[in-house]
Amino acid sequence: MRIRTFDEYQAAYQKSVEDPEEFWAEIAQNFHWRKPWTKTLQWNFTEPNVKWFIGGKLNITENCLDRHLAEQGDQPAIIWEPNDPAEAGVTLTYKMLFDQVCRFANVLKRNGVQKGDRVCIYMPMVPELAIAVLACARIGAIHSVVFGGFSAQSIADRINDAQCKVVVTADGAYRGNKEIPLKSTVDDALIGCPSVEKVIVLTRTRTPVSMLKGRDVWWEQELKQVTAECPAEEMDAEDMLFILYTSGSTGKPKGVVHTCGGYMVYAAYTFQNVFQYEAGQTHFCTADIGWITGHSYIVYGPLACGATSIIFEGVPTYPDAGRFWDIVDKYKVDILYTAPTAIRSLMGFGLEKVENHDLSSLQVLGSVGEPINEEAWHWYDEHIGKGRCPIVDTWWQTETGGILISPLAGITKTKPTYATLPLPGVQPILVDENGKEIEGNGVSGNLCMKFPWPGILRTTYGDHERCRQTYFATYPGLYFTGDGCLRDEDGYYRITGRVDDVLNVSGHRIGTAEVENAINMHTGVVESAVVGYPHDIKGQGIYAYVITDQEPNGHDADLTKRDILATVSRVIGPIAKPDKIQFVTGLPKTRSGKIMRRILRKIAEGDTSNLGDTTTLLDPAVVEEIKAGAL
Ligand code: 7RM
């Protein structure tokens, strides 16, 4: 399963295209299966219907935990670094993690959770978050982790969509100098969530919480009631492992579904090969477990490979902008995996924050979440990698389960801003608006995949038709990523960004429609339109054009803006707050009533000289007004 040279990469790639079933079957042999599969792959992209390792039985936690106990039971599985550097951290060996996962799995069972039930997890970045995730997997419950920055409304929407039976949370969370009241947010959410029977609350901040009799129980109390014996549930390769909600261009976030067998094989295979992980290395992925990057490259991928994975509770700038480098130095991190937005932000604090740290343990640097600009790439290379660590710019999505296009560290020749080449088993294709393949090199188009890989999403929870519509209907027979992409003369891929109405703000995916819906909930707002614009640190900023029933002026306008921000925070979460709000009296629409976002984007970008074709505009005067008031 290990690729060591570029020749081996090319041979593996060729084999994966010529005989994908044989290729993945060989890789899947490296895992522990209770029962082997009888057919490796069955698929079509029309329904869509994708199944890998059919008939195979396994439990992902036996692969992430049990199978490492004999040889490396005393090796650290998780190192936890708390928000406050003065607080003691925690190291859990594989034995200890195994023990805690089994115990918490028994707590879940005690609270009525059975195989197939959905469990919502809304927690800070503490070891118990990984423990809760793995405990669900142990007993065949489907976890739905909701990022700790989301609002009560967002939690409620996700709980109701998946009909979760249990919520696992904490009293509060520490993030930088802030204390965030998680349990009280869950309480607000649960007013509208009749499916929830139990809430399990971890003590973290000791902030006062209300504990509802018969519904709410303390994590620590429950643990006293259980043993450490918990045999893993036997799962079918295609049983659901988890749901993770992600934003699209329309409506509410979709519950992306991943299944046990294919996801495990893909997360582990990509972890090992992209980062060229070697036994005994320490891996530091700075993402939150609430996003797919945390699922695949903090929890499942590293643990399936027997790695030591760091969980960091805090933020890159607390107590100062040297925190990442403190952690690298303190734990002698080998692999660092972070986002361009973090790199750009840290660049701004100057080199003195870097220079007083020993970064010589670093072997590989990773980037994920958004396109990495050339300046950030070089800064990362020179000042963090000291010119001796390969950078892997990894392109992938919640829906893909793991990395699809990326260099293999130290093997693929890198090129700044390029995700370079597809991993074995990945078959990209560029198409034009009509779905016609754009062949050859030195071209660009919409990025699609023409063949399944084991980590591809299987459905969107409770709504298979939405999955078909969103990913498989735009270009029949292809999986459409929603990204635009360029293929250079060497066949290297460079992802240029979304071609749909999805924003990427600090590596977070946010639908413009979601933000508009939130803004429109504010009293007095008649209509709004949201677009992205280039932002030095966040990659993209959120620009909102808002029509109110009474046009606010001066101080009134400031108050209304403040209240709109509060509304968006309450409806979605602080990450979706617009950076700029411009009050307008109308929006540029076509005769058929469609908002011409292209024009709004141009104005938000500050480029008003050439707005392109405006002949279909219903009322050109609106554009002049918006241009005049642009922020
Ligand atoms: C892993 C993750 C997915 C979207 C994707 C892209 C963008 C992610 C890169 C990237 C350029 C990269 N999942 N994206 N990685 N763009 N280069 N290396 O981020 O579901 O949250 O977002 O993120 O637009 O479609 S995600």
Instruction: Decide whether any atom of ligand 1 lies within 6 Å of the 63 Cβ.
Output: no
Share of the chain above pLDDT 70, in %: 100
Backbone angles phi, psi at 512, to 5 degrees: -60, -35
Q: Is 370 in the pocket of ligand 1 (CB under 6 A)?
A: yes
DSSP per-residue codes, 111-171: TT--TT-EEEEE--SSHHHHHHHHHHHHHTPEEEE--TTS-HHHHHHHHHHHT-SEEEEES
Please identify, by atom number, the ligand 1 atom nearest to the C-alpha of residue 372.
Answer: 17
The pLDDT, as a whole number, for residue 612 is 78
Domains and CATH numbers, the chain: 61-72+94-233 (3.40.50.980), 502-628 (3.30.300.30)
Ligand 1 near 256 CB (within 6 A): no
pLDDT score of 591 more than 90: no
Strand partners, 508: 505
Torsion of Cα atoms, 193 then 197 then 201 then 206, to 10°: 70
Q: How far apart are CA 516 and CA 419, in angstroms?
A: 32
Nearest to 297 by CA among 343, 327, 259, 336: 336
Q: Apex CA 363: angle with CA 65 and CA 352, to 5°? A: 120
pLDDT at residue 618 in the model? 83
Residue 92 CA to ligand 1 center (angstroms) comes to 31
Name the maximum alpha-carbon separation found in the chain: 74
Strand 282-285 to 335-338 pairing: parallel
C-alpha to C-alpha distance for 221 and 138, rounded to whole angstroms: 21
Please tell me if the CB atom of residue 509 comes closer than 6 angstroms to any atom of ligand 1.
yes
Q: How far is the CA of 3 from the centre of ligand 1 (A)?
A: 24
For ligand 1, whether the C-beta of 296 sits within 6 Å is no
Q: Tell me what pLDDT residue 594 has.
A: 85
Q: Is the distance from CB of 111 to CB of 136 less than 8 angstroms?
A: no
Take residue 297 and report the two structure tokens written for it.
Answer: 């490259």
**pLDDT band for position 551 (cuts 50, 70, 90):** confident
pLDDT of residue 101: 98
Angle between helical axes of 20-28 and 6-18 (0-180°, round to 10):
120
Distance from the alpha carbon of residue 507 to the mean position of ligand 1, in angstroms? 7
CA of 370 to the centre of ligand 1 (A): 5
Q: Quick one: tokens of 543? A: 């620009």
Res 590 pLDDT > 90? no
Check whether 617 has a pLDDT greater than 90: no
341 pocket-lining for ligand 1 (C-beta < 6 Å): no
In the prediction, which pLDDT does 443 show? Answer: 97
* Spatial CB neighbours of 375, under 8 Å, sequence gap ≥ 6: 347
Question: Which H helix or E strand runs over 78?
Answer: strand 76-81
Quick one: CA dihedral 290, 291, 294, 299, positive or negative?
positive
- Judge if the beta carbon of residue 403 lies within 6 A of ligand 1: no
Residue 614, pLDDT above cutoff 90: no
Nearest atom in ligand 1 to 498's CA: 24
Q: Which amino acid is at 360?
A: S
| Contact present, 417 and 373 (Cβ < 8 Å) | yes
Quote the CA–CA distance of 208 and 376 in Å, as a whole number: 42
pLDDT of 22 over the 90 cut: yes
Rounded Cα gap, residues 368 and 397, in angstroms: 10
Ligand 1 pocket residue status of 498, Cβ below 6 Å: yes
The residue contributing the CA closest to ligand 1 atom 7 is 370
* Atom number in ligand 1 closest to CA 395: 18
Tell me what percent of the chain is helix, strand and coil, each rounded to the nearest 5.
35, 25, 40
Nearest to 245 by CA among 441, 437, 461, 59: 461
Give 337 Cα–ligand 1 centroid separation in angstroms. Answer: 14
> Is the CB of 396 inside a 6 Å radius of any atom of ligand 1?
yes
For residue 514, what is the enclosing H or E element?
Answer: helix 512-520
The pLDDT, as a whole number, for residue 3 is: 98
Sign of the Cα pseudo-torsion (387, 354, 299, 188, in order): negative
Q: Which two tokens stand for residue 545?
A: 């054009």
pLDDT tops 90 at residue 455: yes
- pLDDT surpassing 90 at residue 436: yes
**Distance from residue 625's CA to the centre of ligand 1 (Å):** 35
Q: What is the mean pLDDT of residues 114-130?
A: 98
Distance CA 192, CA 122 (A): 16
Return the higher-pLDDT residue of 530 and 590: 530
In sequence order, the 6+-apart residues with CB closer than 8 A to the CB of 565 are 577, 578, 581
Nearest to 456 by CA among 256, 243, 303: 256
Q: Which residue's CA lies nearest to atom 10 of ligand 1?
A: 370
Q: Which residues pair with 246 in a beta bridge?
A: 254
496, 523 contact by CB (below 8 A): no
Mean pLDDT of the chain, nearest integer: 96
Phi, psi of 501 (to 5 degrees): -90, 50
391, 426, 483, 508: residue to mutate for ligand 1 pocket, most atoms within 8 A of CB: 483
Judge whether 283 and 302 are in contact, CB under 8 Å.
yes
User: What letter does residue 59 receive in the DSSP assignment?
Assistant: -
Q: Under a CB-based contact definition with an 8 Å cutoff, are residues 303 and 309 in contact? A: yes
* Rounded distance between C-alpha atoms, residue 363 and residue 528, angstroms: 47
Give nearest CA residue, ligand 1 atom 16: 370
Say what the pLDDT of residue 552 is.
86
Atom of ligand 1 nearest to the CA of 496: 11
CA 219/CA 539 separation, integer angstroms: 39
Q: What is the 449 CA–ligand 1 centroid distance (Å)?
A: 15
Give tens-digit pLDDT for 217-268. Answer: 999 999 999 999 999 999 999 999 999 999 998 888 999 999 999 999 999 9
CA 239 to centroid of ligand 1, rounded, Å: 26
**pLDDT higher than threshold 90 for residue 431:** yes
Cβ neighbour number for residue 138 with a 10 Å cutoff: 29
Distance 346 CA to ligand 1 centre (A): 20
pLDDT in tens, 304-347: 999 999 999 999 999 999 999 999 999 999 999 999 999 999 99
What's the confidence (pLDDT) of residue 105? 99
